């Protein structure tokens, strides 16, 4: 049995091929403007990568922000359910999932791979990858540099605004005051941590804690979460594919 899970995210589209309940391959591409086009491209590329023909695929399942646009999928699945299942497969001991993507952030509590409770911020860029992306541009550095810089900061700057637009203005003002780049970077990450940890505290931490999504690749954010929550975060080898993997598992 071969199934394909497609996670149509706001920033990236992920596709995972599952063969006999084992990951045969995956791919991550930029979503761009057209969710369906990105989904079709990811689907074709991942099958090619795995050497699998379309006729061999039993089921195609879609999840994520743009899942309704993946018209060739056999079924769509909530991203909350998909991430819970995907993390349950990769990190069975995890019962709290923190997922920060480009468009939203989620905290999910699970039991035996099933969702028990969750909170989601999808109405504001604060606390998401988009917040870090925009504010990194104001610092004239890449997202990767933002995380690396934050790790060496000794005095994180205070970013008072949770609004992306106003936070950008604060960054520009701090630069004018000759605040060190690493301190501004650390302040930006602390602001994103504050937003997400407030959701974690509302739900309560249930060990172990898995961190997934594109922002989980940022070492500065991982370190800040571990400090703020006084825990060691569990990260999959590829944190961005848990939604697509979970969709492929939910055949």
**Structural domain spans, the chain:** 2-82+242-249, 95-235
Q: What is the pLDDT of residue 124?
A: 61
Q: What is the pLDDT of residue 195?
A: 82
Say if 2-82+242-249 and 95-235 have the same CATH topology. yes
CA 36 to each of CA 46, 83, 102: distance values in angstroms, whole numbers, following the listed order: 15, 21, 18
Q: What is the pLDDT of residue 112?
A: 79
Q: Considering the domain delimited by 95-235, tell me its CATH architecture.
A: 2-Layer Sandwich (3.30)
Q: What is the pLDDT of residue 178?
A: 93
Q: How far apart are CA 83 and CA 100, in angstroms?
A: 11
pTM metric for this prediction? 0.91
Classify domain 2-82+242-249 at the CATH class level: alpha beta
Residue 64's region, left for phi above 0, alpha for psi from -120 to 50, else beta, is left
Q: What is the pLDDT of residue 26?
A: 98
The residue count of the chain comes to: 251
Q: What is the pLDDT of residue 222?
A: 93
pLDDT along the chain (251 residues), means of 10: 95 96 97 95 98 97 96 96 96 95 88 90 66 84 86 90 77 92 92 87 92 92 92 96 97 86
Query: Which letter does DSSP use for residue 123 in this model?
Result: S
Give the long-range contacts of residues 88-91, CB within 8 A, separation 24 or more: 88/112, 88/113, 88/246, 89/113, 89/245, 89/246, 89/249, 90/210, 90/236, 90/237, 90/242, 90/245, 91/208, 91/210, 91/234, 91/236
Q: What is the pLDDT of residue 123?
A: 60
Q: What is the pLDDT of residue 127?
A: 60
């Amino acid at each position: 049995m071969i199934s394909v899970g497609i996670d149509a995210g706001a920033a990236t589209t992920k596709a995972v091929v599952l063969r006999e309940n084992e990951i045969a391959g995956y791919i991550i591409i930029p979503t761009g403007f057209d969710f369906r086009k990105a989904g079709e491209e990811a689907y074709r590329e991942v099958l090619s990568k795995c050497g699998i023909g379309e006729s061999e695929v039993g089921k195609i399942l879609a999840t994520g922000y743009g899942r309704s646009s993946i018209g060739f999928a056999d079924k769509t699945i909530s991203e909350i359910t998909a991430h819970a299942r995907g993390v349950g497969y990769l990190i069975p001991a995890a019962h709290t999932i923190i997922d920060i993507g480009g468009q939203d952030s989620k905290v999910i509590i699970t039991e035996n791979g099933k969702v028990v409770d969750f909170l989601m911020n999808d109405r504001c860029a604060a606390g998401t990858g988009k917040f870090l992306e925009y504010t990194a541009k104001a610092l004239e550095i890449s997202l990767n540099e933002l995380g690396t810089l934050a790790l060496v900061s000794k005095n994180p700057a205070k970013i008072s605004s949770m609004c992306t637009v106003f936070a950008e203005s604060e960054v520009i003002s701090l630069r004018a005051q000759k605040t060190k780049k690493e301190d501004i970077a650390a302040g930006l990450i602390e602001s994103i941590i504050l937003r997400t940890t407030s959701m974690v505290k509302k739900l309560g931490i249930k060990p172990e804690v898995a961190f997934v999504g594109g922002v989980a690749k940022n070492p500065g954010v991982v370190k800040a979460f571990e400090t703020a929550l006084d825990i060691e975060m569990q990260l999959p080898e590829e944190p961005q594919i848990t939604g697509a993997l979970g969709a492929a598992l939910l055949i």
